[in-house]
Amino acid sequence: MTAAAPSNGRLVGRLLLVVVAMFGFGFAMVPLYNVFCDITGLNGKVSGRAAVVQAVQPELDRTVMVEFVASLNEGMPWEFHPEVARMEVHPGKMYRTNFYARNRTNQDMVGQAIPSVTPGVAAQHFKKTECFCFTEQQFAAGEGRDMPLLFMVDPELPEDVQVVTLSYTFFDKHKAVN
């Protein structure tokens, strides 16, 4: 019986090590997944930074339909919508549009817009040089304003992608932090 006790202790130690390793792996998955999606554009994730766009020859014989979608996170008391629902664009040419947001409350608020591009393969080919999504947006009570978006669809976008959807969801920055 004394020989079994060290064996059981070793087994328990190994099982505890496995549990700790599994917890650590699970804890690391979210940041690793986010980094992977940022790099590859998988799941429609796009960079939160301004793109450096090289001067390219626009493809005037090709058009891509870009659709704009705006939504508010649950309980976000703002008005938020695109200036236009869709634009027909030439890859390689720079375009500008606006989104309108208004704080409908009687208190100052800070919001953050999170972008997503579909189909996922198009995320790495949608280049934003100016976007309200790069920074937090501070709105006084009742304040509304147009927020610019300057973008280009990269000519390297696969030919079979004819429609790209850019979707923004606005979050209450203080609720997201708390």
The CATH number of the domain where 80 resides is what? 2.60.370.10
Whether 150 and 166 map to the same domain: the answer is: yes
Judge contact between 69 and 165, C-beta under 8 A. yes
The number of folded domains in the chain is: 2
pLDDT of residue 25: 72
Judge contact between 79 and 100, C-beta under 8 A. yes
Whether 32 and 62 map to the same domain: the answer is: no
Whether 81 and 169 map to the same domain: the answer is: yes
Whether 50 and 27 map to the same domain: the answer is: no
pLDDT of residue 178: 45
Whether 154 and 84 map to the same domain: the answer is: yes
Whether 113 and 153 map to the same domain: the answer is: yes
Whether 35 and 84 map to the same domain: the answer is: no
Q: Which domain holds residue 55?
A: 45-177
Whether 57 and 18 map to the same domain: the answer is: no
pLDDT by residue for the chain (178 residues), tens digit each? Answer: 555 566 888 888 888 888 887 777 776 666 665 565 555 555 545 545 554 556 678 889 999 999 999 999 988 999 999 999 999 999 999 999 999 999 999 999 999 999 999 998 999 899 998 899 889 999 999 999 999 999 999 999 999 999 999 999 999 987 644 4
